[in-house]
Amino acid sequence: MKWAHFQIISSRWLLTSVVVFTISLCSEVFRYEFDFPASFSSYAYLSLLSLQFSDIERQRFPSLMFRLVQNRTRNSLLRLKPRAYLALPSALVENLSTASERLPETIHESSDSEAIWNVIVARSGDRVSEDEVFNRLSNDEICNRVNLSDALIHKLLHRFRDDWRSALGVLNWAESCKGHRHSSESFDLAVDILGKARKWDRMREFVERMRGEKLVTLNTIAKIMRRFAGAGEWEEAVKVFDELREFGLEKNTESMNLLLDTLCKEKRVEQARAILLELKSHITPNAHTFNIFVHGWCKANRVEEALWTIQEMKGHGFRPCVISYTTVIRCYCQQSNFIKVYEVLSEMEANGSPPNSVTYTTIMSSLNAQKEFEESLRVATRMRRSGCEPDTLFYNCLIHTLARAGRLDEAERVFRVEMPELGVVMNTSTYNSMIAMYCHLDEEEKAVEVLREMESLKLCDPDVHSYHPLLRSCFKRGDVVEVGRLLKEMVTKHELSLDESTYTFLIQRFCRADMCEWAYSLFEEMISQDIKPRHRTCLLLLEEVKKRNMRESAERIEHIMKTVKLTSPVK
């Protein structure tokens, strides 16, 4: 028995020695091929492997190493830096960069979607013309065996929403398949994709075809008008409304409100007002019409006009609702004019339109932004005394406020006792508030307990913001291996993808941790996913790569700063 035990131990040490020797022997080759930093030791490789891979994955170590090379051509963080490969198993390459928004799907639809996606994307580093996409799909045996459905087409169009050529290639291929006929929703998605890319002529072609097949709906018109208005072509949006009858649709209150809402959301409130004055003689406005203008004036930061609209609303026999007043309160909050906020609050109570939970939560959130936590808690007390029923959003805000005010026991009581007793459902933000509170207090174990509780109860799923405080804590104590473990958990366990805020956070933290190569890898991954970096993120990374004489990287960053419209810092 002892001899067998000794043999097992010896075998394990032998395997470990072989792995270390193999990595050491190949390290220079890997650094040349994958740009490993010379400072990253074989021991570090093995540490990451032993911590990040499961027992089964460790047994498949040779095949995993093979896939590291095999996946060299894929557009992902795992392609750009092998340290990320080692932190996250290579079988998860496609999960990291896949958009987290997903349409409902069956297992077969998901599998077919991946097959088609790979035919279009994985075989080429660049997205090509719609004709080439069509040819690839038509000549692929796997794609020819796919069972086409509207749900599958919608999923593919959703995935290619930022790549109009591939989207049209998919549509053309699907149409060529026997027995498939596009739904109006598929056409609507195509119109929206083309409008987003500002391919107006192609968009009009689709609309004309839809008109011939009598597939144009108000939803189609809404997408067209919003894309025109969003591109600054508001006159074209009005023209679409004028042509409604040609599409078999009526000019009525609903379609008029659609146009007015489109213009107001793009801060074209004055043009919308002129159109209303022209149309109201033969199209009767309703309460929603006036609420559109209340929102529009407030968005343009012209709150006095919004108040005047509320009076006009009363003149037409409509009673302003809580939404109307809350919109005005939100505008005053943005101006930090809390005297006016409380005046409107009192007016609501006097006029028989009592504030709701959203109203109070809006005020509390604005006070929190001003670090007026005690005043925010007084608003919460006022709400409770008014008899207003609290909801999940209110409690999320209350937990955050109590934590920031240093009332930790009260925050825990709200989370553990008050919400369950009242039957208020907790959502992801509720748990995130608790995780952030514990991490802020350096009580990471309690934060992880809350995360595991969220997973086990399955009331809601973690999002990327659930992990931000935990990642921040790891960087604070210099535990980069734990950062890798958390990232792996995000991708494998919860199928989360990195968003702009997460990329920015990681890049900045890696720069501060003197791990510039990791930061630059994430930057390249961010660009490859068409996520625009913030200007100050580029400046920080540029400064760091210049310090390390990474000339090519510096030139690349400078080129991106000149050619890409960067995201401005959040004010």
Q: What is the pLDDT of residues 148-192, one digit of tens each?
A: 888 888 888 888 888 899 889 889 888 888 878 888 899 999 999
Q: Which two tokens stand for residue 518?
A: 């990791």
Rama region for 81: left / alpha / beta (φ>0; ψ in -120 to 50; rest): beta
Q: Which of 40-49, 97-106, 209-218 has the lowest mean pLDDT?
A: 40-49
Residue with tokens 């689709």: 206
3-state secondary structure of 367: helix
Work out the average pLDDT over 463-476.
94
User: Which range has the top average pLDDT, 176-185, 342-351, 366-375?
Assistant: 366-375
Tell me if 31 is assigned to some domain: yes
Boundary of a domain, candidates 322, 355, 388 = 355
Q: Is residue 399 part of a domain?
A: no
Over residues 395-404, the mean pLDDT reads 95
In a domain, 556, yes or no: yes
Three-state SS letters, 38-89:
CCCCHHHHHHHHHHHCCHHHHHCHHHHHHHHHHHHHCCCHHHHCHHHHHHCC
* pLDDT on residue 452: 96
Spatial separation of the C-alpha atoms in residues 428 and 315, rounded to whole Å: 43
| CA–CA distance, 174 with 182 (Å, rounded to integer) | 8
528 found inside a domain: yes
d(CA 275, CA 260): 8
Domain that holds residue 67: 2-95
Reply yes or no on whether the pLDDT at 114 is more than 80: no
List the one residue out of 470, 535, 364, 480 whose CA is nearest residue 84. Answer: 480
Helix ranges (H only) for 160-199 are 164-176, 184-196
Is position 503 within any domain?
yes
Residue 410 confidence class, pLDDT cut points 50, 70, 90: very high
C-alpha–C-alpha distance, residues 38 and 60, integer Å: 26
Q: What is the mean pLDDT of residues 287-302?
A: 96
d(CA 358, CA 371): 20
Residue 169: inside a domain: no
pLDDT of residue 180: 81
CA–CA distance, 81 with 525 (Å, rounded to integer): 10
Mean pLDDT computed over every residue of the chain: 80
* Crossing angle for the helix pair 357-369 and 322-334, to the nearest 10 degrees: 0
Name which of 90-99, 219-228, 399-408, 514-523 the model is least confident about.
90-99
Which pLDDT value is given to residue 202? 94
224-236: buried (b, 16+ CB within 10 Å) or exposed (e) per residue?
A: bbbbbbbeeebee
If one counts every other C-beta atom within 10 angstroms of the C-beta of residue 429, the result is 18
Of the three residues 331, 355, 379, the one that is the final residue of a domain is 355
**Least confident stretch, 6-15, 215-224, 303-312, 474-483:** 6-15
Residue 20, pLDDT > 50, answer no
Rounded to 5°, the CA angle 499-501-504 comes to 105
Q: Helices (H) and strands (E) in the chain — how many of each? A: 35, 0
Query: In the prediction, which pLDDT does 565 show?
Result: 67
CA atoms within 13 A on the CB side of 184: 13
Question: Strand, coil or helix: what is 567?
Answer: strand
Distance in angstroms (rounded) separating the CA atoms of residues 356 and 345: 10
Task: State mean pLDDT over 505-513.
Answer: 92
The domain boundary, picked from 95, 126, 156, lies at 95
- pLDDT of 14 > 60? The answer is no
Kind and range of the H or E run holding 448: helix 444-457
Q: Does residue 229 fall inside a structural domain? A: no
Task: Give the number of domains in the chain.
Answer: 3
> Which pLDDT band holds residue 340 (cuts at 50, 70, 90)?
very high
pLDDT of residue 27: 40
